[in-house]
Structure 1
Amino acid sequence: MGDTALIKLQVNLLASLEKIHVNFKKDSLGRKTKTYFQQRLKRVDELNEEFRSTHKSIVCSDIKSDDEYLTTDIASQFEELHLELFCLLTQRHDELFPPTSEKEETKSGTQPTSSQVRFVASTQFPRLPVPSFSGKFTDWASFHDSFNRLIHNNIELNPIQKFHYLKQALPLERDLDIQQMLLTEANYTTAWDLLVKRYNNPRIIFSHHMNTLYNLPVLVKEKSDDIKTLLNVANVCVNEFKRLKLPIGECDHWIAHYLTKKLPTETHSAWERHLGSKIEIPTFFDLEEFLTIRLFTIDAIENRSLAFNATSSRMLSNDIKNRHLYKSKSSARPTHNVKAHHAATKVNPSSQDCCGLCGQAHILRRCPMFLSKDCFERKGIVDKAKLCLNCLSKSHALSQCTSSKNCIQCGQRHHTLLHFPRTSLTNTAALPLAQHTSTSFNSASAPAQGQVAPINSHAMSTSAFDLSAYVLKQLTTELPSRRSVPQQLSHLQGLTLADPLYYQPKKIDLILGADMVAQILLPEMRIGAFDQPIAQKTHLGWILLGRIDSPPSSAITVRCHHANLELEALVQKFYENEQVPTETPMSEQDKWCEEFFQKTHHDETLHGQYMEGIEDYFHLNQIVPATTSEDQHYLLTASNKPTFTSCVLPHHAVVKKDRSNTKVRIVYDASSKTSNGRSLNDMLCTGPPLQNDLPAVILNWRLHKFVFLADIQKMYRCIDMHQDDAQYQRITVSPL
């Protein structure tokens, strides 16, 4: 093999070592097991041996002293990187898997010093508890490893002691056959083998961990604790799959897809924005890295909210304390004749705790008359007295109630005595129809979306219909508007009316639309005289349609609401008023001053420095003369619209005289509007943000003592543009 091939091999070995170093920093903590560190160290040693052997062959050959291999000192680079990587792997291994005994310390190759031995001997560590087993297959791996290391393989314990610890570790209600075994040395081996055979079943362990993964709940709100729990469960399952030697590391894309369906809407949206226009299928490692960074932001927001709430509570408590202090001080002062205009109702102390319903000396929720009524009548009493729906107090409304107690039945914000019972009839929302019922709902006790609300009719009807209803505080006023005189009509004799008291004004509980009327009507009908109402049979009973005799009314009120709004014109005018003008209007005098300044003003020094910067671009091959004109980039689109595939950028100088190196910097304005009213930046796709999240960066700074900031000088000049794309970055320069 020639020298060129050997040098290429050395460069390849250096690149392999750098790749191991980068991948080690990227790998998650869950992947870094003992086997992981052993394989990494083994591979690093193999690369080192191969590099040394090849380097020896190159040095012994007839290689020139000015060869690039020797001038760049690749051997020293490899040696430094190998030493750094070996120390990093060894240190992280000792941190994650510290030696548990002196034998393991010696086996790992690190000999403790005399000071370390004295420190360990003088330190009293707490006693480790005996590992306990819950009986679940998902906890078997943890119990097996801990019990195996602390008890089973402990040479200082005899089989009787091990068997005693094993019985203590097992749950009382499971594995009774092992619990009932006699405490002998021979039975310990039998019991341990039986337990391993029973629970060390990879198929069942895999099934239980999959069930744990699939039973993860869907998160509704973006809370750090919930996201951490989801991520921890996923990591435990993934690590267990790796322990079972499943190739999960090569095909964990489905886990990432499944977990995104469990995330809150806000987190899922942030994840999709993070992916942007990427076409690669995201892995679980990508999702874990994103959620880890996302948790920094969520924790920062939650901590700020907690601090704000604590400050508000402290200010409120101080305010209350100051008020009490002011009252106590004012009561200790001598009496003065002070006139104050204040009106208050004098309340008899004996009547302050009187019931508002029966007048007895007890509160409303202890009133026997109030307790004897049903929930609907209680609700009417509370509404009439204008009491708080939660604590039944008359000193405040529900929105101002400070009580932390809610309904025991449903947990909503109302008193338990005002709870409306709900009956689940079917899996869907089945609503038995009714013409009249005493049921009334409010915002505190209304049925929730998708729940069943039965409304019973006076007629014995078993029909039920599915419908969607809106629960409002009030539907309309009482109907009919005035009381009428009931008539004895012959064609209505013997009919079961849906509302027998139709002539009395009552509260309307339910309004049905025309779509439901067609479903409740039955074909039978009773027709009387010309001026008498018609009786129509329905599933609710017989209903009356038509006119009845009633006392004449002295006044008739007609209300008409009409509104005609030109919505589009109003919205357009609103945006025109709020929009920032793109051009500043100039008077004729201002235009003349601007033209005069441009014609007469010329800075020779600035122009010379400016042209030096342009010439610097030419020397560095960062700019080349244009070989085509704008007319050559003119073409017609498929819809015969003219367009140009080039753009001329305006540029100007930014002068900073306090700079020691670059006093004049050339700035190109790609946001400047062209003849069609658009700029180059308006037409380019920005893509997803590539910068790190600023709150996460600031939080990372708190992990270390020092922070380094760096900048790449003239970075954007070093990016080569394609010939077709470079036409959109044309500039014009006038020579001296």
Structure 2
Amino acid sequence: MSALDDLYKEFREVQYQIELIDNTASETNDRETFEDSYFDTKSMMQSVIDSHVQDTSQEVNVNLPQFSGSYSEWTSFHDTFNSLIHENKGLNDIRRFHYLKGVLKGEALKCIESLKISGANYAIAWDTLKKRYKNTRLIVQEHVQAILNAPPLNKTIYSGLRQLLDTVISNLEALKVLNINTNSWDPLIVPIITQKLDFPTKREWEAKLNSEIPKLADLQEFLNNKCNLLESLNSGNQKLQSSQHKTHAIANHASANDKLTCSFCKKGHFIFQCADFLKLAVTERFNQVKRLNLCVNCLKHNHSALNCKSGSCKECNKKHNTLLHFNKSNQTIIETPQSIETIQQPSSTEPLVVTNHCQFDKPYVLLSTAQIHVEDIHGKYHTCRVLLDVGSQLNFISSTLCKLLNVPLRHTKLTVSGINNTGNTISHSADIKFKSRLSKFSKKQQFFVVDKVTENLPAQTFSSKELNLPQSLQLADPHFNVSGPIDILMGAQLFWQILNKGQISLGHNKPVLQQTHLGWIIGGSLNISPEQNSLNHLVTNCHIGADILHKQVERFFQIEDFGNKRNFSSEEILCEEHFRQNYRRDLDGRFMVQLPFKNDTTPLGNSLQTATKRFIAWRPNFKETPR
């Protein structure tokens, strides 16, 4: 602001000197024009400064909760963000968008990370998150699964009891917030918690019961008292255990280093601490343990897993080491259209198991379509449906639409090849002008005319309610879920020109939204409900080009031919050889070759006199008729 004032002062001094020399009307007009610009600029700068001061005064100093995409965290996150940020009238949409992106992470952030930070995109981002995660059924299901999947206890430790109790109580309270009546769940919840207790604690609890149905409040009080007792005993023994550990630490460390040798790399550490051993796949670890004659449970020598006194696998509680546990990702799956064979890798005590089943899921892939306006020969626009195909090098249009537009056609001869080298011959093309329904984007491009672009897309009409599309988006094809004909196919040349920055993921095994000049297009994997999934018959187009058909027919006749081969004479062979050695082509492209002569010519005898007499006899005739 001060720099602007200094500039104005300097102008006034210079203009004053100019007006002393030339005091005309033009100089006065220059002064007035400059002063108007000066005051307008200063007013604009002052308004920007005032608005900036107002925005900074509305900063939110509360630590907002992070949200990573867990349904169990959505209710708490939504209520907090909605109260502090979304309904805060002192913030504009750009600042709200900044706060929103700052608290998202993981799967939740991927939903909106492709949207540019702008005031218009904030409503789209917030609406997308609500459509994705405001699902009461999934939220309730995740809270119930958290109770059922709470880890069981193997030992009586107060931290494990606290964690089990807190997990159950917190999820029950969350269900109550969702208006789920859990007051009558005691006969169901108490056995679930009891089954997860360690044996001594379970026995102590069962000793307190009588013939009446136990209540959750009684179990909660029992576990709280048990935790308080274990915590007090543990705190009294910590000092004694730490002092004993310090007394024997040095001696144990020295003796361990003397005897400690890794069985795999022969270095001074345990095998389960060996970096080289941990880099191996589970199957390779299992083979190395067998090769080294180690116990598959504790990875040590001189005994087998049946006689091992160490603990079991932490994943499945079976008698093998956790490093040798084969989970689902370590299975080899061989898929065929008729069956799927799942081969479980060998574990420590289980034999090789092979299971066969015929369940084979076919996810449907939704292709991206759009609706555009196409101009006819009279300048009138018609709405048509377009398939966007980045795998095509050319653009195509149906002959039906060409007749409707009445555009002039150009003769061409082009063979278009596809899958398995199948081809079609195209004989016409046309220059088509089209424009977007939702923006100013327009283009004129060459399209090749075909009888039919493709089958109806999608193959069957389906409901779009399960996709939870944001309502504020302008779709390029509002009827993308309705099966219908395709008039135009746009190839890669046009596809990359219509793309805009902006992408929204609708979730796992769901399509993706991409922003373009034609609107938001949708495409990708689509999970269709069983009653809608009659798309098991895949539509396949088979095109046989004229050149391929010709080759097939030619090959047929070659097979039927007896293969009679003509035998050339020696003179014919010499003529052919003479042609190959002596032919040439003139400037007009014609072939020229010397006449061949026989090598073994017989003498003609005394024929010169006879020829001379005949020539003299015919000479008068040549004079009369020289031609």
Normalising by structure 1, we get a TM-score of: 0.28
Higher fraction of strand:
2
TM-score, normalised by the number of residues in structure 2: 0.32
Compare relative contact order (CA 8 Å, sep 6+) and give the higher one, 1 or 2. 2
